[in-house]
Amino acid sequence: PYTGPSAEEILAKRKEYLSPSLFHLFSKPLNVVDGKMQYLFDENGRRYLDGFGGIATVCCGHCHPDVVDAIVKQINLIQHSTVLYLNHAIADFAEALASKMPGNLKVVFFTNSGTEANELAMMIARLYTGCQDIISLRNAYHGNAAATMGATAQSVWKFNVIQSGVHHALNPDPYRGVFGSDGEKYAKDVQDIIDFGTAGHVAGFISEAIQGVGGMIELAPGYLPAAYGSVKKAGGLCISDEVQAGFGRTGNHFWGFETQGVVPDIVTMAKGIGNGIPLGAVVTTPEIAEVLTRRSYFNTFGGNPLCTAAGLAVLKVIEKDNLQENALVVGSYLKRRLTELKGKYEIIGDVRGKGLMLGVELVTDRQQKTPAKAETLHVMEQMKELGVLIGKGGFYGNVFRITPPLCFTKKDADFLVDAMDYAISKM
Ligand code: PMP
């Protein structure tokens, strides 16, 4: 049993020694001491079903034995910087990752986070095209360093960042957007930005296929093909941020961009790629990758032996445990059950998402779509008391984010929906 400090003691230390910006879920935050697959355990040994771990990093399941094994084996052999010497781990993982990519996307740069991956992707686009202008979507989250905070388009995640060279296009949000599910109409705004906001040439365009932090918003169908068309005509590179939607999570496809039938010029990823180990990557074509030879470029720990050994193990587990197929089967079932719940409760305004990347938006008025922020928090807290963890997001903080480890079962889905049903019924 756990003998470490209590939740209260940890909170007190955090208060004194950690940044005041550090936030946590729940008014009485969980002290997580142990994790196994789709379960987390608190200091008293109480088990929680983890419906949100996917976002936090875990795609195979907490402490998946194969991934732990690979990490322990590697750390006992050697852990070092990526630069200076050879090691097979980085090369093996890059090869495996490239094999999951369409077209000529086969050159990999490793980073330590999603922010770094998107920073690098945007820099590459700017170098390759000789342009500065980047278009991103309103409501997007792409990271918290200079360029990525500029591309991020939600005031809550932005400080006084210099916004130069970034344009934010109309978000193709089927639920709240002005054009409903007509992706091509929203994409016209990308063309307008190019025509009226730039010299006619752009460095690139960056977006997720399903906005995670933004509240599990699936870009309206037809949006990416049309937007990519405009960007390519203006000489720009298209970047797909797969930090949340990648690695089989959407079920039908391995990558989020595939749900819209496009092939990007640059793909970025992080989070689930290392099953909890800090690891990010940028994948592009040999021709585009060439721009980084104009100067010296390196990242001390990006792609180090430990992290890439973990990454390779994750890819193998996704195949061995059939996780993409599971995301499709269990995700479709879970979405169907959540949609039934929408039939039962007025407060559920929308159920959306693909595979095991699902969102449930709460509104106090279905016509006005008034965000039910307080109710969202309340239900989340109640579900935690019932032993089920989910997240929240969206600009108004009124969207449940359901992104469990991909080993989630139908039974888990039932438990999650039953807990949500009960919590809403008691409100
Ligand atoms: N892109 C997306 C889509 C994200 O959700 C996040 C993190 N929430 C990032 C980039 C940034 O990743 P990191 O926190 O690892 O820097």
Query: Residue 163 is part of which domain span?
Result: 65-320
CATH at residue 262 = 3.40.640.10
CA of 3 to the centre of ligand 1 (A): 33
The ipTM is 0.99
Q: Which of 156, 171, 250, 271 gets mutated to test ligand 1 (max ligand atoms within 8 A of its CB)?
A: 271
Please give the Cα distance from 256 to 218 (Å, whole number): 10
For ligand 1, atom 12, the nearest C-alpha belongs to 114
Q: Nearest 5°: phi and psi at 386?
A: -85, -5
| 1 domain residue, yes or no | no
Rounded-to-10 torsion of CA 105, 111, 116, 120: -40
- Let me know whether 339 and 312 are in one domain: no
Instruction: List Cα–Cα distances, 31 to 13, 216, 380, in angstroms.
Output: 13, 27, 17
- Let me know whether 160 and 293 are in one domain: yes
Please give the Cα distance from 42 to 103 (Å, whole number): 45
- What is the spatial order of strands in the sheet that 204-207 belongs to? 107-111, 280-284, 266-269, 237-241, 204-207, 134-137, 166-169
> Is 346 strand, coil or helix?
coil
Please give the Cα distance from 288 to 290 (Å, whole number): 5
Per-residue pLDDT of the chain (427 residues; tens, 9 = 90+): 899 999 999 999 999 999 999 999 999 999 999 999 999 999 999 999 999 998 767 899 999 999 999 999 999 999 999 988 999 999 999 999 999 999 999 999 999 999 999 999 999 999 999 999 999 999 999 999 999 999 999 999 999 998 889 999 999 999 999 999 999 999 999 999 999 999 999 999 999 999 999 999 999 999 999 999 999 999 999 999 999 999 999 999 999 999 999 999 999 999 989 999 999 999 999 999 999 999 999 999 999 999 999 999 999 999 999 999 999 999 999 999 999 999 999 999 999 999 999 999 999 999 999 999 999 999 999 999 999 999 999 999 999 999 999 999 999 999 999 999 999 999 9
Q: Which of 122, 244, 267 gets mutated to test ligand 1 (max ligand atoms within 8 A of its CB)?
A: 244
Residue 143 CA, closest ligand 1 atom number: 11
Please give the Cα distance from 105 to 232 (Å, whole number): 16
Q: Report the number of distinct structural domains present in the chain.
A: 2
| 2 domain residue, yes or no | no
Burial state string for 311-323 with b = 16 or more CB within 10 A and e = fewer than 16: bbbbbebbeebeb
Instruction: Give the residues surrounding ligand 1 with Cβ less than 6 Å away.
Output: 113-115, 118, 141-143, 208, 212-213, 241, 243-244, 270
Please give the Cα distance from 193 to 231 (Å, whole number): 10
CA of 172 to the centre of ligand 1 (A): 20
Which among 111, 95, 394, 393 has a CA at the least distance from the CA of 241?
111
For ligand 1, atom 14, the nearest C-alpha belongs to 114
Joined together, the tokens standing for residue 42 give: 């608190």
CA of 421 to the centre of ligand 1 (A): 30
- Let me know whether 259 and 360 are in one domain: no
- Let me know whether 44 and 70 are in one domain: no
Domain boundary, last residue among 299, 320, 341: 320
Residue 245 CA, closest ligand 1 atom number: 3
Angle at 421 between CA 420 and CA 422, to 5 degrees: 90
CA of 114 to the centre of ligand 1 (A): 5
CA of 146 to the centre of ligand 1 (A): 14
Beta-carbon contacts of 331 under 8 Å, excluding residues fewer than 6 positions away, are 251, 353, 354, 355, 356, 357, 358
